[in-house]
Amino acid sequence: MDRDPEFEMASGWRGPSADPHDEQLGDNIEPTTPDSADTYDAVLVGEPYDGAVIGSPGAREGPAAIRDALAGVKTHHFDAGPIRAIGDLGTVDIPTGASVSDVQAAVRAATETVHEQETIPIFLGGDNSLTYPNAGPLLDREETVGVVSLDAHLDCRAVRGEPSSGAPYRQLWEAGLDEMAVLGARHFETSTVYAEYLREQGGEVVTAEEVGDDPVEATDRALAAVETDHLYVSVDIDVLDATAAPGVSAPTPGGITTRELFRLVRLLASVDRLAGFEVVETAPPLCPDGRTADAAARTVAHVLSVLGGEPA
């Protein structure tokens, strides 16, 4: 099996259980290559980069920590049954010390290959600037493309010089994005000019407060605003409340619970037109007890239980 030069092989897929009856997610992950990726309903892609973070960094260690936590998770969802085999493309090779735009370009070279396959890529970030190369290749398609972004922030900052992790959706809108909804946004975390910018583009904002009132209705509202042919779903783990995800560059209160996040991603992953998924901004050095990576890993597991769950 030849490996793609842009990827380093993932290793260490092995949960800590000693009980031979246990089936852990690590047991069902199979290393694969872009060429064979379509054998799987979904493939994992690691992106260890945080050079575009404005606040406290650390997200570069996210993919390793999420993989560690994911390896030990059991495959069983009580309603959907066990998660089937999943492919793993390894880790995108990030050029060391390069500028943000050069990193975005290098990552995009890898993600383009991935999006060509008939499978759902699940990107493990890394900071939010990776959303641009992760979702960008979809914009080259002829059909319409939309994003549902679960984030405390709108991330539509104007780019001055190099792009930052607060700007990926500005970059995507400028590259031709058709529709977008932000789910779980917090008041007082985005400036008025950027809130207005997003509304002018036709973007929808569903607040964390509204998710708390009725998670299903909130998701419906987001999906109603993004009726595009292809749907990309992004989870900035800071959409979680500061108590649930302290390991992000700027934890904020008033956020959603892990229980709500898991429900939201299951609802979103069930949408037919899903073309890609990512979880970004998990910064393990900022979270001594590991709860942020634990939450990120189970977010991925809930998505996999829809994409790669036991067929009915």
Chain positions 145 to 184 lying near Mn ion, rule: CB under 5 A, are 151-153, 155
CB of 226 to Mn ion, least distance (A): 17
- Binding of residue 104 to Mn ion (CB under 5 A): no
155 binds, among Mn ion, a second copy, none (CB under 5 to 8 A by kind): Mn ion
Nearer to a second copy, 194 or 231 (CB): 194
Nearer to a second copy, 26 or 138 (CB): 26
54: region left, alpha or beta (phi > 0 left; psi from -120 to 50 alpha) = alpha
Q: Helix or strand or coil: residue 19? A: coil
Nearer to a second copy, 144 or 305 (CB): 305
95 binds, among a second copy, Mn ion, none (CB under 5 to 8 A by kind): a second copy
CB of 34 to a second copy, least distance (A): 22
Rounded distance between C-alpha atoms, residue 246 and residue 274, angstroms: 29
CA distances from 279 to 46, 63, 129, 296, 303 (A): 10, 9, 12, 7, 11
102 binds, among a second copy, Mn ion, none (CB under 5 to 8 A by kind): a second copy
Nearer to a second copy, 145 or 148 (CB): 148
Question: Residue 162 in contact with residue 312, Cβ under 8 Å?
Answer: no
Question: Residue 44 in contact with residue 29, Cβ under 8 Å?
Answer: yes
Nearer to Mn ion, 152 or 206 (CB): 152
Q: Helix or strand or coil: residue 23? A: coil
Rounded distance between C-alpha atoms, residue 107 and residue 121, angstroms: 14
151 binds, among a second copy, Mn ion, none (CB under 5 to 8 A by kind): Mn ion
CB of 180 to Mn ion, least distance (A): 13
Contact residue for Mn ion among 32, 128, 164, 282 (CB under 5 A): 128
List, in sequence order, the alpha helices (H) in 73-141.
100-115, 131-135
Of 104, 192, 209, 194, the closest CA to residue 154 belongs to 194
Rounded distance between C-alpha atoms, residue 213 and residue 30, angstroms: 40
Nearer to Mn ion, 13 or 170 (CB): 170
Give the interface segment with Mn ion, choosing from 39-47, 105-113, 169-177, 238-246 (CB under 5 A): 238-246
CB of 289 to a second copy, least distance (A): 6
What would you report as the CA-atom Rg of the chain, rounded to the nearest whole angstrom?
Answer: 18
CB of 309 to a second copy, least distance (A): 11
Interface residues with Mn ion (CB under 5 A) are 128, 151-153, 155, 236, 238
